[in-house]
Structure 1
Amino acid sequence: MNNNKLRRLSPIAMALAVICTNSSLALAAQEVKKIERVEVTSSRIKRVDIEGAINVHTISSSDMVRNGFDSVYDALMGSVAAGGAVLGEVETGSYTPGAKELNLRGLGPEYTLILVNGKRLAYYPMPFGGQTNFVNLDMIPTAMVERIDIQTGGASAIYGSDAMAGVVNIITKKGIDGHFIDAKFGQDTYGKGDKKSLTFVGGMKKDTFTFDYALEYKKEDALLSSDRPYHDSVWDNPDPDSNREVNRSITVWAENTEYRNQYSEQYCNTDDNPHPQATQHFIKRSNYGPSCGWDETGDKLLRNESETYSVYLNSEYELSETTTLFANGFYIQQDKKGRRNPFFWGHLGSFHGGNFWDPDIQNSDGGYGAPVKYMWRVLSDDEYTDDGLGRIFNDESMSFNFGVKGEVGEFYYSVGYSHANYDFADRYLSHTVAGNQFIKGEKLGEVNGMDVYRPNYKLFFAGATPDSVMQFMDWSTYDGNSFNDSVTADISGDLFELSAGAVQFSAYVEVMREGTRATPDDRILNKQFVGLTGVITDGERDRYAAAFEFLVPITSELSAEAAVRYDYYDDESQVGGAMTSQLGFTYKPTEKVVIRSAYGTTFRGPDMSSLYQGFSGNFATLNDRITADACRMLQSTQQVDGYNTDALSHTCETGQLDLTSANISSLQTGFETLSAGDLTLKEETGSSFTAGIVYEYADELSFNIDFYSIKIKDKIKRLDSSYILDKLWLCENGGENSDSELCGNMRERVKRYDENGQGIDRLGNAISGLAYTPHTIQEGYINAAERQDAGIDLGIRGTFDTVLGTFRYKADYNRVLKKKERIRAEDPLVDILDDQNNRDFKELGSLSATWESGDTSVSWLMLYKGKMWNNAVYGERQKLPAWIKHNVTLGHHINDDTRLIFTVKNLLNAMPPQDETFSNYPFYHGGRYDSIGREFSARLTYQF
């Protein structure tokens, strides 16, 4: 792609500035108009009335302090619109465990547009779930925030692509009067998880020059599962049927022996082979016998350690009464450390082509020699690091813009350039193919078709050191970058007068270049690490846009808002251009009542990951029902058409076969999944409809009720391996037409080992595994999915002035009314609102109250998350109770310059609802709840 396109097209954007600045400079708008005209999110028109046709919820910086929110992410997650699941830091094995994302309406992070002062930020270089781009909200400096505007619903006609679920516009501080130093310290109720922050915020104005700044330092200690009694031990497992026992952390599993576990008595934390955590223990069930391990429950990560530095600057200089130069931006650096606890597969029978033969194991016949099916060990981060944190993230992000703004006659204009950039690095320990061979040693021959090895079991069981661990492991790295550059110009004002008032307009043009790159360690792509794969993305594209917006007063009570926007993508995809429009009405029958409604079309261009992903890999384990059915048939008929009996018998005997269910045969099979970007993808399209009423009875009471309906068509969806295997089973069993194009496509996506257990991987290497099972499944992106969502938002608020002081209250509530989707165009539209696989909250609520008297104030916040399905098997799930948390903040002005604030978050130390069907850490769905618990903080602010 030509890197000079942005430079060539810049004069197009700059032309408007030339026209504006060379126009006749009529009298400037009167000062009273400057005060009355304000900018609002959801429109580019400066207007007098902030209540428009679309509901915009605002969280001020004061609200954040009163409600105990430490960051932009915390504030947004407290919104009743944030009902969708996120990955979170508990998911240490995900592509993005160092990032924090927002999922409005449960549509996905990629459908919410995040802006700072109306400008786009650079995406997090690693895709969410390995699939889509999003903005990392943990990389937005808190100290610079004046307010956060949340528009829920489509806004493509105003802001372009991505604004399908909503828009979050973070407005920064400007015109700060004075200088402030703010110090904060916090700790949880268990004496852990220290939080510290120090900020300097201030501003000055001298004649025609203004300058604002915000410097911030934040430090958060890591939290482990052992820091919470909720999940510090295996005995916390709420499942009454679970096996509450010490883990088999280091295991050699053999077949045809008295006990499955081998070598624990010889090498597990013995005098000449110590281990800092492992103990020898005996497990009777499943004939495991003498075992080696420790209780791993308390070793898990709950929150990353992080250290953050940021700086924000804003400046304006008035060249004249009608022309102002402006510049603002921020830079933030964040260093995080997490916990990896890498899992080392010394041998996996289904992955390495079957068992190997150990000639030294005593077999059940009294002789020596037995097949080894598994070798695994958990490597605790405590073994090879000083602080027990073995995953390291380094993130840097910046965003700045500068330009000129002012007035030409009765019109407002601005022309500017903006740049955003994000750099990312991820480093963690993984075991290598060479290390695997080092542990197993050289092949000594063959017995009964199995390779013979005498592994170094003493090293395998021993506690590792920073030096010894490098004999079989090494550091793997990920690097990434994303950026966007844009030149914009806009003009707005009154066009002409009607009997009901002036017709206002806004015109806007934009030229943008954006790019992304995610590059894993070459050794990851070349399979030099065992069981490790990654994502590689590299691409750039240009985008151009032009938009018009009109605000038309039809009568003194009724006004209409209309917007139209055209976006053009200059890249190798099939998007081309996309036109979106929006029409809204605001009706004010009285001064106290506003009735509003808006309908708009929306779109989202394919994100960079789905287009330019050169390779994305993963390893998965799923049920291969086709081969499992063949195993079941083999048991009854002794022969299955199309299968070699000996080969199938070996697979059925060696694999994880489970035929206990009469209806579903199960053969858990491990394989590699592959996917890549698709330049034939087109844009997603959709629509958004909202309707509501605002009633402002008095200062003591006002409320709003808003209905929303969001539709997305041609939704980009990745056909995952689970869907492919399920469809393929239906194709072979009459659920789908076996000769259809769909079935043919599903067969092409699944590559299986032949009857000799041989296959070819993506690099062209010969690989071996269990005959007839999948070794590679080709996933992919399609424009076929559809999603429909609808719900209501309710808000109530008011202020009372009494002899006891001022009381303020606010309540917000969201209820989802509809949630339907389909994966492919030929699939039926399925209602998933009450489906037991729907893990998004159906109800969310918040209630806050503040009392102020003199120099003292007390605030209380309640956050409500509705009922959620438990983790039982599908069809047998029950609803868990709602989850409620309370925050309390006490503030007091010691004098005119000094303020002291105490906050207690999660006052009652509420833990996630107990789920007796959830038998794995953290014993709840990590993307929906958290187990941080009660936290205390003290904050001192001094003005000078």
Structure 2
Amino acid sequence: MKKKLLSAAICTALVAPFAVGAAHAQDSQQATDIDKVVVTGSLIPQVEVETATPVQTITAEDIQRQGFRDVYDVLRSQPLATGAVQDAQFSGFTPSAEPISLLGLDPGFTLVLIDGRPIADYPLLYNGQSNFVDLASIPTSMVERIDIAPGNQSAIYGSSAIAGVVNIILKKRVDGTSLGLRIGGYEEGGGGNVRFQLTGGHSAGNFDLVYGLQYIDQDAIYGFDRKDFDSTNDNPDPTLRFGSRTFLRSLGNGRYIDPGAATCAGLGNLYNSTTIYDTRPGRGNYCGSRAEPGFSSIQNKEEAIAGYLNAGYDLSDNAELYGMLLVNRAKTENNGGSRFWQPSIDTGGFIINDNTGRFESFQHIFAPEETGGLDTNNERITSDSYNFAAGVKGTFGSSMWDYDAYYARSEYKVKSRQLWALKAEIEDFFRDQFLGPQLGEYYGYPIYAPNEAAFYQALTPEQYRSFNSEIKSDSETWTHNLNFQLTNTELFNLPAGPVGFAAVLQVGEQSWENPTDPRVVNGEFWGLTGTQGAGERTNEAVAMEFRVPIFSMLTANASVRYDHYKNKGLNSDDDTTYKVGLEFRPIESLLFRGNYATAFKAPDMAYVFAGDSGFFTFVTDYYRCATEEPGVPIDECTFSGSEQVFGNRSGSPDLQSITAKSWGYGVVWSPTPNFDISADYYNIKIDNKVSDMSLDQLMQTEAACRLGDLDPSSPTCVDALARVGRASATAPEPFQVQSIETNPINISKEEVSGILASANYRWNTDGWGTFSVGLQYNVTLDHESQQFPQDPVIDLLSEPFYSSEFRTITSLSLGWNTDKWNATLYTVRYGQTPNFEAQLLEEGYEGSLDAKRVDAYYRVNTTLGYQFTENASLTLTVNNLLNEDPPDDPTWTTYPYYNIFNYSGYGRSYMLEMNWQF
């Protein structure tokens, strides 16, 4: 009920002024000649910028004056970007990439375009599973504007446009040449950066050229650069303020074997002289460093250069030859933290110590002084991408038929290089170092007679390098297509006006290749697994769109598109999607709109073509709970969520398209060119969503088959029993789960709805310049998902174990401009999100969810610019003006003690930029 009241309140507030405004509005206005333009969400050029599809636009001026660092920063700051994502703060699967999540949906559900053309996916996989577009490769200096159209847009653009479309429009006209030099850094240290930009344009007769160059050099930010998470002493839980166990010897019961203070003193130089004789309550004493977690990076070291060319040549009055090329090369370095070693990784690090006759484990975390420097283990990624298009467009004779025929290609290559320990070599090294020769085996556990004193010795960099090897991975994606488009803004005339028409024919192909170093897949590296796969897909499409004036106040838009794609060597699929929109203008300044659309997403290449890939996970062993602890509640069973197993995942060649439906309605009121206000409701429902098989459901099914509750010979049981690998009955832990196999399937559902509202006002004064105010607000009313038909529907806004997305995001921009000065204050308010404790509700925590939220987070950017001359200006930008840290969360006790998928710990930054015009 509250959500319905909120929706009604926003719409009422917007409509209320109409009663007054309409009384004074003129029924007719002086006609003006306005050029027709193509707007995002439609193929037909038209006069009206506001159509049946709500579109948010961020201009190049907005990017400059609102303090955004790059295109990713622009889009992540928009109210529609409510979802948490893995970006450069996360040292995981894609540490150099920057995706966004519109409306809290998967990053792959947003179609990212450049000038209306698709771009290649990032070659590495988001969360090790799916494809997405990386925004880090798009230089800001070449951007004219960015349009965001939420909701289903497949009837115009094809696959993946479910959450919406981000259309990045590059500059096509530039007068003169502009040079820009920006230097910046962070108040708390690290992250120093330089950016150089050159853009220009030239016209000569029938030839037009726009060119651009951008260079960026950025230093890394490490955890030790930030006082709030440079040490485990910053842990919000005082009982967890003990050091990382850099040298640890422990018993099978978890108790530590005391090395003595003198032993730790001999290692005191490690981790910049922070290694001490430390204590973990309830476990015992050991040698450790409380500063160790801070030796990982939270922002990449990066060097990037991008170039842009856009050319046009008038063949005649009715035809233009054009081309565009955007290239980018970036080199990034990411430090994911320290590496460590334990003996016998296949037995959880435990051995039988022949000297004591006990189960024991050893752990050694390698310090920078041992590895040869802080950057020795950095993952070094070189990314090369380009987007190219060439074509001819014009008009057939003196008719109203316009055409555009072009070829477009986009490619993205990633070379990853990283040093990692080889399994056999590191085991041999530590046998020689202190374990000694293996003396035998006891139920799979190796027996050694170690020299305990030799364990507590630091390595030399030469020793460390002796058991490491470089992992090399060269991955690539590309997509290209031939496109022919016809448009006619006056196909024929109705009493209410001309009918517009557009048609598209398209053929294309895309490829994904992620050939991970085969030694990784074969398990030759210590404690490491990886993803791999390769495949190609062809596609063909035909689409039509009509814009029909039904009567003077009502216009209808209708589009339909048929897509067919084939996974080479595998299956094929096709989908027909459509979109219908209505625009009702009772007066010139007032628009009521509504739309209904269907969409589809071809399953990610990685979901279809992924080869065998490994991962580690924890599962609940329902079988052992039933047989070894009968009658014990499942959440109290010893084997509940505590069994760590090695998993194997592969693609599924039989996947079909994900389908979706969306609808929305809204109102726009713009009584003057300087004032507009709008509100729109959106609803998106997704079916046949691809998800990996539920491991928990698989474990339950496997247990039922073993216990005889299901027929063991049934296809269900044959499949489940084959997927779960167990130890034998005579193993040290009989029937322990050792492996599990999974793959993606088309079975999940998801639905999201919300309201997007905006208001803009601009006014001029005689002596104080021009002022402007811009407000945007997005509230998610509902967001639900269901992974399997037998599962309960999950409320993602109320069960934060599954999601930490923002329910509300509000942005406010205040601007001021005179002949010499300009200033902007841009504020984004991110609403409350669940704290870490709330995210563990599904693990048995009881209590009120309302008490388990962190405060709203405010980010304030400000810019102040001064125009020295007509051709020279200086701009000071301060991002995170209030130096807001991520919201306090006493329950987030894992490093870096805040939710890195929602917030950043960078702090306040300063940038000074000088621009020259020639």
Q: What TM-score do you get using the length of structure 1 for normalisation? A: 0.87
Cα separation, 2, equivalents of 1:846 and 1:480: 38
1:610 to 2:594 alignment: no
Question: 2:785 corresponds to which residue?
Answer: 821
Cα separation, 2, equivalents of 1:321 and 1:690: 42
- Superposed, 1:868-907 pairs within 5 Å as 868-872=833-837, 873-874=840-841, 875-876=846-847, 877=849, 878-907=852-881
1:709 to 2:709 alignment: no
Cα separation, 1, equivalents of 2:579 and 2:671: 30
| SS state at 2:140 partner | coil
Cα separation, 1, equivalents of 2:264 and 2:666: 67
Query: Which amino acid letter does the alignment assign opposite residue 879 of structure 1?
Result: R
Q: CA deviation at 1:373?
A: 3.1
Question: 1:56 corresponds to which residue?
Answer: 55
Cα separation, 1, equivalents of 2:787 and 2:188: 46
Question: 2:429 corresponds to which residue?
Answer: 438
Q: CA deviation at 1:38?
A: 0.7
Give CA deviations for 1:778-810 in whole Å, capped at 9, x if unaligned. Answer: 111111100111111010111011232211110
Cα separation, 1, equivalents of 2:369 and 2:386: 32
Cα separation, 2, equivalents of 1:795 and 1:727: 50
Q: Is the 8 A contact 2:705 2:721 kept in 1?
A: no
1:771 to 1:475, Cα distance in 2 relative to 1, 3 A: farther
Q: Is the 8 A contact 2:370 2:464 kept in 1?
A: no
Question: 1:419 corresponds to which residue?
Answer: 409
Q: Is the 8 A contact 2:252 2:350 kept in 1?
A: no
Q: Is the 8 A contact 2:625 2:637 kept in 1?
A: no
Q: Is the 8 A contact 1:239 1:915 kept in 2?
A: no
Query: Which amino acid letter does the alignment assign opposite residue 485 of structure 1?
Result: H
Q: Is the 8 A contact 2:268 2:275 kept in 1?
A: no
1:129 to 2:166 alignment: no
1:755 to 2:755 alignment: no
Question: 2:821 corresponds to which residue?
Answer: 856
Give CA deviations for 1:667-694 in whole Å, capped at 9, x if unaligned. Answer: 6222211111111111011111011100
Residue 381 of structure 2 is aligned with which of 360, 369, 393? 393
Question: 1:478 corresponds to which residue?
Answer: 473
Q: Is the 8 A contact 1:594 1:695 kept in 2?
A: yes
Q: Is the 8 A contact 2:180 2:196 kept in 1?
A: yes
Question: 1:19 corresponds to which residue?
Answer: none
Query: Which amino acid letter does the alignment assign opposite residue 285 of structure 1?
Result: P
| SS state at 2:307 partner | strand
| SS state at 1:286 partner | coil
Question: 1:576 corresponds to which residue?
Answer: 573
Question: 2:754 corresponds to which residue?
Answer: 791
Cα separation, 2, equivalents of 1:605 and 1:215: 35
Q: Is the 8 A contact 2:248 2:286 kept in 1?
A: no
Q: Is the 8 A contact 1:264 1:280 kept in 2?
A: no
Question: 2:243 corresponds to which residue?
Answer: 246
Residue 508 of structure 2 is aligned with which of 503, 509, 512? 512
Question: 1:310 corresponds to which residue?
Answer: 306
Question: 1:82 corresponds to which residue?
Answer: 81
Residue 844 of structure 1 is aligned with which of 809, 823, 833? 809
- Larger displacement relative to structure 2 (372-381 or 871-880): 372-381
Q: Is the 8 A contact 1:208 1:317 kept in 2?
A: yes
Q: Is the 8 A contact 2:370 2:459 kept in 1?
A: no
| SS state at 2:97 partner | coil
Q: CA deviation at 1:289?
A: 2.4
- Superposed, 1:350-369 pairs within 5 Å as 351-352=346-347, 355-360=350-355, 368-369=356-357
Query: Which amino acid letter does the alignment assign opposite residue 758 of structure 2?
Result: G
Q: Is the 8 A contact 1:213 1:313 kept in 2?
A: yes
Give CA deviations for 1:172-196 in whole Å, capped at 9, x if unaligned. Answer: 0111000011000011112431111
| SS state at 1:844 partner | strand
1:679 to 2:653 alignment: yes
Cα separation, 1, equivalents of 2:760 and 2:593: 19
Q: Is the 8 A contact 2:259 2:285 kept in 1?
A: no
Q: Is the 8 A contact 2:224 2:230 kept in 1?
A: yes
Q: Is the 8 A contact 1:628 1:667 kept in 2?
A: no
Query: Which amino acid letter does the alignment assign opposite residue 159 of structure 2?
Result: S
Query: Which amino acid letter does the alignment assign opposite residue 97 of structure 2?
Result: A
Give CA deviations for 1:795-845 in whole Å, capped at 9, x if unaligned. Answer: 011101123221111000111111121112343434333223231111111
| SS state at 1:535 partner | coil
1:173 to 2:161 alignment: no
Query: Which amino acid letter does the alignment assign opposite residue 534 of structure 1?
Result: G
1:619 to 2:609 alignment: no
1:452 to 2:447 alignment: yes
- Superposed, 1:524-673 pairs within 5 Å as 524-571=520-567, 572-624=569-621, 626-627=623-624, 630-632=627-629, 662=636, 666=640, 668-673=642-647
Query: Which amino acid letter does the alignment assign opposite residue 560 of structure 1?
Result: A
| SS state at 1:884 partner | strand
Q: CA deviation at 1:477?
A: 2.3
Q: CA deviation at 1:736?
A: 9.7
Cα separation, 1, equivalents of 2:111 and 2:822: 35
Q: Is the 8 A contact 1:482 1:514 kept in 2?
A: yes
| SS state at 1:325 partner | strand
Identity, % of aligned pairs?
29
Residue 196 of structure 1 is aligned with which of 191, 194, 197? 194
1:898 to 1:353, Cα distance in 2 relative to 1, 3 A: closer
Cα separation, 1, equivalents of 2:771 and 2:376: 48
Query: Which amino acid letter does the alignment assign opposite residue 877 of structure 2?
Result: T
Q: Is the 8 A contact 2:773 2:813 kept in 1?
A: yes
| SS state at 2:343 partner | strand
1:714 to 1:290, Cα distance in 2 relative to 1, 3 A: closer
- Count of residue pairs brought into register by the alignment: 868
Q: Is the 8 A contact 2:242 2:280 kept in 1?
A: no
1:403 to 2:397 alignment: no
Cα separation, 1, equivalents of 2:455 and 2:32: 76
Name the Cα RMSD after superposition.
2.8
| SS state at 1:49 partner | coil
Cα separation, 2, equivalents of 1:320 and 1:382: 69
Provide runs of 4+ in structure 1 moved above 6 Å: 32-35, 271-275, 456-459, 729-741
1:382 to 1:852, Cα distance in 2 relative to 1, 3 A: farther
Query: Which amino acid letter does the alignment assign opposite residue 160 of structure 1?
Result: G
Cα separation, 2, equivalents of 1:149 and 1:580: 22
Query: Which amino acid letter does the alignment assign opposite residue 77 of structure 2?
Result: G
Question: 2:321 corresponds to which residue?
Answer: 325
Cα separation, 2, equivalents of 1:664 and 1:392: 42
Q: Is the 8 A contact 2:377 2:420 kept in 1?
A: no
Question: 1:23 corresponds to which residue?
Answer: none
Cα separation, 1, equivalents of 2:827 and 2:704: 48
Q: Is the 8 A contact 2:243 2:278 kept in 1?
A: no
1:99 to 1:271, Cα distance in 2 relative to 1, 3 A: closer
Q: Is the 8 A contact 2:184 2:909 kept in 1?
A: yes
Cα separation, 1, equivalents of 2:696 and 2:253: 33
Cα separation, 2, equivalents of 1:905 and 1:401: 36
Q: CA deviation at 1:379?
A: 4.6
- Superposed, 1:135-214 pairs within 5 Å as 135-214=133-212
Give CA deviations for 1:43-62 in whole Å, capped at 9, x if unaligned. Answer: 11111211111001000010
Q: CA deviation at 1:261?
A: 3.0
Question: 2:44 corresponds to which residue?
Answer: 45
| SS state at 1:440 partner | helix
| SS state at 1:469 partner | helix
Question: 1:96 corresponds to which residue?
Answer: 94
Q: CA deviation at 1:437?
A: 2.8
Cα separation, 2, equivalents of 1:119 and 1:460: 59
| SS state at 1:602 partner | strand
Give CA deviations for 1:157-216 in whole Å, capped at 9, x if unaligned. Answer: 000000000000000011100001100001111243111100111001111100111101
